[in-house]
Structure 1
């Protein structure tokens, strides 16, 4: 009994101090863990954005490198917004940007946020369906989302509802394009903000007389290169230049 009487336990104050230290260490550990998880989640979001952006570049590269020099087809029935170009020497364009040729692409296609439209070739057909290998493509931005619309080419109206619409990227703040005409040197003054260039564009007025007319006709087909400028909330400003294999 004497041995037990000599032992001493924790006092109430010591227990309270130990409990307080345990709670403090737990709170600090939770904050560290919460911060680490937030950083990890943010890193995962950025990595997903990068993966999505790389998919955008791959799709755009495939589309633009397969862009067809074939002018926009007249609809099989009725008329479309490009009917005004049928009476012009330059004819129908093969590519249209937001305000190309003085027209407004979202109204022409009746697709809000449309920024670029053209026809591409080489549309794979693994199921051997009875359809054209030409595909109409449009890129547009709506509510911060970048979409790729597509239609099988069958001389339909430009305002027909697309066969499919794929959301490619979120949190897009701005999307714009620049176009380099065939034969132009890649300086800042050579790029056009719209395609086809409007009549008073410095690019289209560079050549006098018959040379200007030939140059205008050439520019309404396809540019030599397209620069894509994209502003993302997560990734900032990114640009990429694509060369068009189909340009003469």
Structure 2
């Protein structure tokens, strides 16, 4: 009977654990939902924390810095490649012009403005502001049909870091016409001439119409790049 009374008393006073839990909201899931403990709902209601914003800004700054660095590197690489291509094109143009001149050299002596005789081919050591190469070449194009010969006297000079080509309107006693700069930013320029089986720094012909077999041109740019090329003389092509 005591047991029956205890059960009734428990039922009367709500001591049943399951019912009490349900009545007073002790169920973990329901309590979590009622008081907003679910992480997803809390994040949606309250937004990002300061730490999360700082981390996001830091990552964005890293990505922006990397993008700027890559862009700057690309610009520098493009500029360097453009400069190198321009330099290669300039050297190629010099080689083509000198090669055409040397191939068209003919053994024809001339006279200067004072009437002194000049050899057909005069090759000296390079000196700033002075002609180091003088010759007569054929194949001077006459597109306008002017009253002149197809022969032309040409000089090469090294002036203040520039390689210049100086043509003359007439073979004997004429003033030079407009000179052209073949290459600039030249630090050093040297030439050698092939005489029989030897290379010489100057060409000293035994007769006025004598020609060397070949010429070697060495150009050192101010950036340290050195260019050397051999040219056959008087081959006619």
* Structure 1 length-normalised TM: 0.70
Correspondence for 1:206:
none
Deviations 1:36-87, CA, capped at 9 Å, x for gaps:
2212211111111111111111100110111121112254xxx25xx3xx5x
Correspondence for 1:196:
204
Structure 1 residue ranges without an equivalent (≥5)? 87-91, 107-111, 198-215
Q: Offset at 1:125?
A: 0.8
Correspondence for 2:4:
none
Question: Is the CA contact 1:95–1:196 (under 8 Å) kept in the aligned structure 2?
Answer: no
Q: 2:137 aligns with which of 120, 126, 139?
A: 120
Question: Is the CA contact 1:49–1:169 (under 8 Å) kept in the aligned structure 2?
Answer: no
Correspondence for 1:11:
49
In 2, the alpha carbon distance for the partners of 1:226 and 1:138 equals 15
Give the SS at the match of 2:229. Answer: strand
Q: CA RMSD in A?
A: 2.7
In 2, the alpha carbon distance for the partners of 1:65 and 1:150 equals 16
Query: How many residue pairs align between the two structures?
Result: 197
Q: Offset at 1:28?
A: 1.9
Q: Structure 1 residue 173 and structure 2 residue 187: aligned?
A: yes
In 2, the alpha carbon distance for the partners of 1:19 and 1:114 equals 67
Question: Is the CA contact 1:171–1:232 (under 8 Å) kept in the aligned structure 2?
Answer: yes
Moved more, 4-13 or 19-28: 4-13
Structure 2 residue ranges without an equivalent (≥5)? 1-33
The structure, 1 or 2, with the larger RCO (C-alpha pairs under 8 Å, 6+ apart) is 1
Correspondence for 1:65:
103
Larger Rg: 2
Correspondence for 1:213:
none
Superposition pairs for residues 228-239 of structure 1, below 5 Å? Answer: 228-234=217-223, 236-239=225-228
Correspondence for 1:201:
none
Correspondence for 1:94:
120
Correspondence for 1:217:
207
* Structure 1 stretches of 4+ moved >3 Å: 2-6
Note closer, same or farther for the CA distance 1:52–1:166 as it changes in structure 2 (3 Å cut).
Answer: same
